[in-house]
Amino acid sequence: MTFSARTAYALCTLGMVIVGSSVATSRAIIDYPLLTGQAMRYAVAAVLLFGLARLLPPPARSRPTGRDLGLLIGLGVTGLALFNVCVLVGLRHAEPAVIGTAVGAAPLALAVLGPLIARRRPAGRLVVAAAVVVAGTALVEGFGRTDGIGLAAAAGALACETAFSLLAAPMLDSLGAVLVSAYSCLLAVPVLLAGALILGETAVWRLPSPSEAAALAYLAVFVTVAAFLAWFLGLQRLGVERAGIIVGVLPLATLATTVLMDRHLPPAAATAGVVIVAAGLALPHLKLRKPYGMGAGGTGNGARCRRMNWSTSNEQAGPRCPRPRLKRPTSTSASSTAMS
């Protein structure tokens, strides 16, 4: 599937908006066992994704290789299961702002780590833009109190969010976005169920209420299937470092949803953070004008003139290079030429 970079940016943005706006749905299952609910969510999503894969044209590879399987296990364990565990533990030892601000640093991590893993130098403008997005996210989310465990959980959530894109990117060209999403969801289910057993959720296992079942279904269909596909399709086209900066849309969508639900205006700091995040998101797309004559093979007006073998001795010529002056033959030389 081939589409333009603009479409890819729109897909990544859509994915982050869906995830960020899921705060209303998450509130509906706050009393349901967390890891059990997440296991149910990913199990339903895996069934839907494998069914979708059968309806679509097959990708270059329909079965993962040994290397792919290792990446998929890592993706399911870190990007899906362990991420939820870190958030759960973190919220017990830290205020939500700490976790949100930590996850908001993912654009900077992706802008740096993505090129380094590919053995390329990080693009300076993308790194600066990602840093601006992170600063704006910190204002949107705010800062909160935490202890050592909460801080470690926040760092773990950031690492898992970063791994979600880094581990998926190498497989998208061969397996495709649908199968990468399907396999990662499937592999996350046993990890989440094991975590539920370890944390003692079996003592409170129960069937979800109708509202909880509807919320879990929404998380499976939209926040998992739709958002994962949108993100991975955009990621495949843009690459990790360019797509990573769009993670900055996530806290904006969360803030907007919270404002609409609670019917109150955001504080001034959060509003300023939205503006800063928007500026960071726009920075990579600004076309900066280069000074006249800048380019390969030299810099400035003099270098341009030298490449064209023009004289630069005329200092009054301004930005345009003067054309070389041709000497007219003298009468003596003209007659000599005619005689010869």
The pLDDT, as a whole number, for residue 176 is: 93
Most confident of 81-85, 173-177, 257-261: 173-177
Confidence of residue 190 (pLDDT cuts 50, 70, 90): very high
The pLDDT, as a whole number, for residue 288 is: 54
Q: pLDDT tens, 244-297?
A: 888 888 878 877 877 787 777 777 777 787 788 878 777 776 665 555 444 444
Which of residues 229 and 333 earns the better pLDDT score?
229
Q: Are 236 and 173 in contact (CB under 8 A)?
A: yes
Q: Are 97 and 144 in contact (CB under 8 A)?
A: yes
Give the angle subtended at the CA of 13 by the CAs of 253 and 107, to the nearest 5°.
Answer: 85
Mean per-residue pLDDT for 43-49? 97
Which of residues 101 and 227 earns the better pLDDT score?
227
Is the pLDDT reported for residue 221 higher than 80?
A: yes
The pLDDT, as a whole number, for residue 317 is: 42
Q: How many angstroms separate the CA atoms of 244 and 133, rounded?
A: 11
0.85 surpassed by pTM: no
Residue 183 neighbours by CB under 8 Å, 6+ apart: 64, 72, 76, 175
Instruction: Work out the mean pLDDT of the chain and round it to a whole number.
Output: 80
Q: How many angstroms separate the CA atoms of 161 and 154, rounded?
A: 11
Mean per-residue pLDDT for 324-331? 54
The pLDDT, as a whole number, for residue 326 is: 54
Q: How many angstroms separate the CA atoms of 307 and 298, rounded?
A: 9
For residue 146, the cross-strand partners are 94
Measured between alpha carbons, how far is residue 34 from residues 40, 87, 180, 197 in Å?
10, 11, 24, 12
Measured between alpha carbons, how far is residue 267 from residues 255, 261, 271, 282 in Å?
11, 15, 6, 23
Q: What sections of 21-105 are H helices per DSSP? A: 23-28, 34-55, 66-74, 83-93, 96-103
Percent of the chain with pLDDT over 70: 81
Least confident segment among 102-116, 162-176, 177-191, 194-208 = 102-116
The pLDDT, as a whole number, for residue 329 is: 54
The pLDDT, as a whole number, for residue 230 is: 95
Q: How many angstroms separate the CA atoms of 267 and 106, rounded?
A: 24
Residue 145: CB atoms within 10 Å: 10
